[in-house]
């Protein structure tokens, strides 16, 4: 890296830190702060997941195990702190979660990482089911239906953080997030990190340059468990309660989707994924019951049409921006925007009508979308939805070639510039 670039990234990091530190002084709404807290936890969790999927080529269906067990252990330790038996400041609790995540990943990873590919995926699914099932058996640790709760306003106070106000929690999460993200980034720059990429690309060749692919996978798995455990510890502090759901398959699926939507091919991709996932799951869920459905469709669209995730889409535009050619793409994008909006409106209308009817039945069929009230059971809203869907879809179908054309022109121009 040359000095200019290094200076630039130092400035970028310092700006980020300054902005993050200033947020609680600017934002007063408790909702926004709790949203940011959730995002911070999601960022650490998703980045830890990408150490497996993106960097080592390991598709895990059970990453929540290390997150959840880290969280449970953190809350048990918090109990001990509250009881006065352990003088550990609560802001350091995520480290306890991390150590638990590491220990569990060392133990369970020994089994999981013996193989890669499909077999690895199946083993992680099996381990996840095993842990989820044992949450019913080991009631003392998992706390049964109620889960484990705790009181974060206890133990010695560190840096004046009583952990009472939400902004104290925010600062703790921000510090741990920056620390974890920084460390995870540095790991990608070490021989282990590079060889994880190598094993992902070609385990056989890795063996023929002296490395045991299993050892590489195992070490990456253990480290990713450590950071997942830190995320679990942050979760414990933030919510002061954890239930067996936290080790469950739903949480494992969410982190997979966060990482994938953000883009597993770029280190910071999962950060974008965590932000989008958290925003959708909290903001969208306040407006509609069907948010999971929308999220599923969104995930499908990303998998099918943007397999490199949002960060992949952004990365594709970087050279265009740099060459000042965005104005060549904009008309095509603008042309495609209107049909997309019509299509979306139709789809949303149909989904909402169906959700409304299936939940309330015909007895209370009055509903409203975007301030327009109507009777969900009558025929015209469904017809309007279908019409919008068909017309929007057909128009989009006609306009997409323009986007393709604009792109191929821009690509040709970029290639022309690159050539001497």
Partner 1 sequence: MTWAPAIELDDVHKSFGTTSIIQGVSLAVGTGERHAIIGPNGAGKSTLFNLVSGRLTPTAGRIRLKQRDITGLPPYRINRLGLSRSFQITNMFHRMSVVENVRCALYFAMGYGYAFWRLCPRLRDVHDAADALLERLQLSARRDVPAGLLSYAEQRALEIGMTVAGGADVLLMDEPTAGMSRSETERAVALIHELSENKTLVMVEHDMQVVFDLATQISVLCYGRLIATGTPAQIKADPEVKAAYLGVEAD
Among 139, 190, 250, 408, binds partner 1 (CB under 8 A): 190
Among 136, 212, 250, 408, binds partner 1 (CB under 8 A): 212
Binding of partner 1 at residue 317 (CB under 8 A)? Answer: no
In Å, what is the CA distance from 203 to each residue of 38, 96, 217, 303?
A: 36, 33, 10, 25
Binding of partner 1 at residue 114 (CB under 8 A)? Answer: no
Give the residue from 30, 31, 33, 11 showing the smallest Cα distance to 22: 33
Among 30, 117, 182, 191, binds partner 1 (CB under 8 A): 191
Instruction: Please identify, among the stretches 212-220, 338-346, 370-378, 405-413, the one whose residues bind partner 1 according to the rule CB under 8 A.
Output: 212-220
Distance in Å, CB of 57 to partner 1, minimum: 10
Binding of partner 1 at residue 145 (CB under 8 A)? Answer: no
CB-hemisphere CA count at 13 Å for 183? 12
The alpha-helical segments, DSSP class H, found in 361-378 are none
- Closer to partner 1 by CB, 103 or 148: give it: 103
- Closer to partner 1 by CB, 222 or 242: give it: 222
3-state secondary structure of 375: strand
**CA 383: distance to chain centroid?**
37
Among 187, 237, 290, 343, binds partner 1 (CB under 8 A): 187
Among 85, 201, 364, 375, binds partner 1 (CB under 8 A): 201
Question: Residue 299, exposed/middle/buried by CB under 10 A (0-12, 13-18, 19+)?
Answer: middle
Contacts of 309 (CB under 8 A, 6+ apart): 260, 261, 262, 263, 264, 265, 266, 269, 272, 273, 302
Distance in Å, CB of 185 to partner 1, minimum: 11
Contacts of 230 (CB under 8 A, 6+ apart): 44, 48, 70, 94, 95, 97, 98, 101, 176, 180
Angle at CA of residue 385, ends 381 and 386, nearest 5°? 120
- Closer to partner 1 by CB, 51 or 246: give it: 51
The alpha-helical segments, DSSP class H, found in 138-268 are 139-142, 166-188, 191-201, 203-207, 213-239, 249-262
Distance in Å, CB of 15 to partner 1, minimum: 23
Binding of partner 1 at residue 149 (CB under 8 A)? Answer: no
Among 23, 86, 153, 192, binds partner 1 (CB under 8 A): 192
Instruction: Please identify, among the stretches 83-91, 207-215, 321-329, 338-346, the one whose residues bind partner 1 according to the rule CB under 8 A.
Output: 207-215
Token pair of 85, please?
A: 């038996």
Binding of partner 1 at residue 204 (CB under 8 A)? Answer: yes
Q: Do 150 and 78 touch, CB atoms closer than 8 A?
A: yes
Q: Do 193 and 55 touch, CB atoms closer than 8 A?
A: yes
Among 5, 137, 209, 286, binds partner 1 (CB under 8 A): 209
Token pair of 83, please?
A: 């009881």
Binding of partner 1 at residue 308 (CB under 8 A)? Answer: no
3-state secondary structure of 270: helix
Binding of partner 1 at residue 35 (CB under 8 A)? Answer: no
Distance in Å, CB of 257 to partner 1, minimum: 23
Binding of partner 1 at residue 223 (CB under 8 A)? Answer: yes
Among 27, 153, 207, 391, binds partner 1 (CB under 8 A): 207
Binding of partner 1 at residue 216 (CB under 8 A)? Answer: yes
Query: Contact positions toward partner 1, by CB under 8 A?
Result: 1, 186-187, 189-195, 197-198, 200-202, 204-213, 215-216, 219, 223
């Amino acid at each position: 890296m040359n000095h200019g670039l290094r200076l630039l990234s130092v400035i970028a990091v310092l700006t980020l830190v300054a902005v993050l530190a200033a947020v609680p002084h600017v934002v007063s709404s408790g909702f926004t702060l709790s949203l940011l807290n959730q995002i911070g936890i999601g960022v650490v969790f998703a980045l830890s997941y990408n150490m497996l999927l993106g960097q080592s080529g390991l598709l895990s269906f059970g990453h929540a195990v290390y997150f959840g067990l880290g969280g449970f252990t953190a809350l048990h330790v918090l109990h001990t702190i509250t009881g006065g038996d352990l003088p550990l400041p609560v802001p350091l609790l995520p480290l306890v979660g991390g150590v638990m995540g590491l220990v569990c990943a060392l133990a369970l990873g020994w089994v999981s990482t013996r193989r890669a590919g499909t077999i690895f995926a199946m083993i992680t699914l099996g381990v996840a089911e095993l842990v989820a099932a044992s949450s019913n058996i080991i009631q003392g640790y998992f706390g049964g239906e109620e889960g484990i709760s705790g009181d974060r306003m206890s133990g010695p106070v560190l840096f004046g953080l009583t952990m009472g106000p939400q902004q104290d929690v925010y600062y703790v999460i921000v510090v741990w997030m920056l620390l974890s993200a920084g460390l995870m980034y540095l790991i990608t720059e070490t021989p282990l990190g590079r060889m994880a990429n190598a094993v992902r690309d070609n385990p056989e060749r890795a063996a023929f340059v002296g490395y045991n692919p299993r050892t590489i996978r195992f070490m990456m798995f253990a480290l990713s468990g450590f950071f997942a455990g830190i995320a679990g510890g942050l979760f414990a502090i933030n919510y002061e309660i954890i239930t067996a759901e936290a080790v469950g398959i739903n949480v494992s699926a969410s982190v997979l989707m966060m990482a994938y939507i953000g883009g597993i091919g770029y280190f910071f991709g999962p950060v974008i994924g965590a932000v989008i996932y958290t925003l959708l799951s909290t903001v969208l869920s306040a407006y509609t019951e069907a948010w999971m459905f929308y999220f599923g469709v969104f995930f499908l669209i990303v998998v099918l049409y943007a397999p490199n995730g949002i960060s992949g889409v952004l990365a594709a535009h970087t050279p265009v921006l740099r060459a000042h050619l965005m104005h060549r793409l904009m008309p095509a994008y603008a042309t495609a925007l209107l049909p997309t909006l019509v299509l979306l409106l139709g789809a949303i209308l149909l989904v909402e009508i169906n959700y409304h009817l299936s939940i309330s039945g015909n007895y209370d069929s009055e509903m409203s979308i975007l301030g327009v009230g109507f009777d969900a059971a009558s025929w015209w809203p469904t017809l309007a939805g279908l019409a919008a869907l068909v017309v929007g879809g057909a128009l989009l179908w006609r306009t997409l070639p323009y986007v393709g054309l604009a792109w191929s022109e821009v690509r040709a121009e970029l290639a022309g510039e690159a050539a001497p």
